[in-house]
Amino acid sequence: MTGQNELRQRIARMIAAQGPISIAQFMTVALHDPQGGYYATRDPLGADFITAPEITQAFGELIGLWCAQVWHDQGQPKPARVVELGPGRGTLMADALRAARLMPEFLANIEVVLVEASPVLAAAQKETLKDCGVPLRWVGSVADIASDRPQLTIANEFFDALPARQFVRSEKGWSERMVIVDPTGNLAFALAPAVWSFAVPPERGEAACGDVYEFSAAAASIVEDLARGIARAGGAALLIDYGYAGTGFGETLQAVGGHEFRDVLASPGENDLSAHVDFGALARAARSAGAATFGPIAQGEFLLSLGIRAREEILKKPGRPTGIDRLADPDQMGTLFKALAILPHSAPPPPGFSR
């Protein structure tokens, strides 16, 4: 019996003891259970998916220069903090800090904080960044960071893995989709009998029977906290992920293992679970906390405006692709991925964005 099968059985026992669980609860256990959770027990990068920093160094370099420029544009506040949420193997931060050497006064006045819940990935980050030359520390959650100074937060493919809930529209109203144990002993989806009453954002449009409303309260809460600190102390947040602007309805929850789509419920702990990010909801959360937002815009548009093609010319080697087409082209990651920036109202527009 594998650890992952044990995790499925433990989830089944939990449901038997306390009743159906939400999809958000299922995602949390499947991804972060200390003994069998996907992120708690393995390094998923490369094996199941690859992120932009692992495709080309230019991605992290441009983000490092973006942070340095935003810091400069806000009057070079001292001290400042650079934070990365879900730093992978530390590749993005290593590339960002290397590029930021072009502005040594920036590096001389920052500390770097990495928010990482996975002990496996935290160990990889420490190895990658051991010679970076700036003060480093690790925390387990955003709540562990004090908002005592201007903070530049980077979140690349972080919000897609946060737990999301799903509600399905019927003639009676919205009912939550839950995870149950079916008569054969397998995990399955079912609708809760209770009907929820809540206001769906008007930009979503009119819901028809069968439509799915998917949202992440955890994501909105984190963005509110970040935006509140930005509005009070300065700084910025740059959020990059695959997602949508917040219109229409539909379910996007997916499981990926070995670069293939898998059954979401079949093997908790074996596969990565994610849902597309509702950038409209994140932007509303940031504005409600008193900050200004820029975007979302397509990742390709953002990277091209920062000059990624010029960097490509420097990185080019005969017969070796740079990976930049993969990040910027509309038919690859260029359109599906979006970028959203959060800044104080008093700050000028950040590089790559306009009002």
Identity of residue 69: Q
Retrieve residue 226's tokens.
Answer: 């970040």
Q: Distance between CA 298 and CA 237 in Å, rounded? A: 16
Is 349 among the domain residues? Answer: no
Q: pLDDT tens-digit profile of 112-162?
A: 999 998 888 999 999 999 999 999 999 999 989 988 899 999 999 999 999
Query: Phi then psi for 328, rounded to 5 degrees?
Result: -105, -25
* HSE toward the beta carbon, residue 73, CA cutoff 13 A: 17
Is 141 among the domain residues? Answer: yes
* HSE toward the beta carbon, residue 269, CA cutoff 13 A: 18
In contact, 132 and 60? CB cutoff 8 Å: no
Is 318 among the domain residues? Answer: yes
What integer pLDDT is reported at residue 48 of this predicted model? 58
Q: Which domain holds residue 268?
A: 3-343
Is 93 among the domain residues? Answer: yes
Q: Distance between CA 306 and CA 353 in Å, rounded? A: 10
Local confidence pLDDT in tens for the 355 residues of the chain: 344 478 999 999 999 999 999 999 999 999 999 888 888 777 766 555 688 999 999 999 999 999 999 999 999 999 999 999 999 999 999 999 999 999 999 999 999 999 998 888 999 999 999 999 999 999 999 989 988 899 999 999 999 999 999 999 998 899 999 999 999 999 999 999 999 888 888 888 899 999 999 999 999 999 999 999 999 999 999 999 999 987 889 999 999 988 789 999 999 999 999 999 999 999 999 999 999 999 999 999 999 999 999 998 898 887 778 888 999 999 899 899 999 999 999 999 999 997 6
Query: Phi then psi for 36, rounded to 5 degrees?
Result: -130, 0
Which residues are paired to 166 by β-bridges? 214
Is 216 among the domain residues? Answer: yes
Is 352 among the domain residues? Answer: no
Phi-psi region of 208 (alpha: psi -120 to 50; beta: other; left: phi over 0): beta
| Cα Rg of the chain, angstroms | 21
Is 348 among the domain residues? Answer: no
In contact, 125 and 91? CB cutoff 8 Å: no
Q: How big is the CA angle at 208 (ends 206 and 209), to the nearest 5 degrees?
A: 150
The CATH code of the domain that includes 250 is 3.40.50.12710
Q: Distance between CA 283 and CA 292 in Å, rounded? A: 9
Q: pLDDT tens-digit profile of 9-28?
A: 999 999 999 999 999 999 99
Residues contacting residue 114 through CB under 8 Å, at least 6 positions apart: 83, 84, 87, 90, 93, 122, 125, 129, 136, 137, 138, 139
Structural domain count, the chain: 1
Q: How big is the CA angle at 162 (ends 161 and 164), to the nearest 5 degrees?
A: 110
In contact, 343 and 226? CB cutoff 8 Å: no
What residue has token string 């001290």? 79
Q: Distance between CA 314 and CA 316 in Å, rounded? A: 6
Q: Is 167 helix (H, G, I), strand (E, B) or coil?
A: strand
Is 351 among the domain residues? Answer: no
Exposed / middle / buried, residue 95 (Cβ in 10 Å: 0-12, 13-18, 19+): buried
What residue has token string 């700084």? 235
